[in-house]
Amino acid sequence: MYATVTRDTGRIVVYGPHDTPVVVPTDGAVTVAICPSGAADRTSGTPAEA
């Protein structure tokens, strides 16, 4: 899963999730991978122990 992160009037906006990386115009937006369910500790945001 992927999300697109961009800025809009001084704030950060996240769009997603998307099944594939989204190609965005050169407006400063980036596409980032999202950890699959269970891969991150939801209380701290760190990767879960392997």
* pTM of this structure: 0.55
Cα dihedral 49→38→32→19 (10° resolution): 140
pLDDT value at residue 1:
75
Please, which pLDDT band fits residue 3 given cuts at 50, 70 and 90?
A: confident
Cis status, amide bond into 47, omega within 30 of 0: no
pLDDT value at residue 16:
82
Side chain identity at 2, as an amino acid letter?
A: Y
Question: What's the chain look like in SS3?
Answer: CEEEEEEECCEEEEEEEECCCCCCCCCCCEEEECCCCCCECCCCCCECCC
Query: Which is higher by pLDDT, 1 or 15?
Result: 15
Q: Could you read off the pLDDT of 4-47 as tens digits, one per residue?
A: 888 888 898 888 878 877 776 667 788 887 777 667 666 666 66
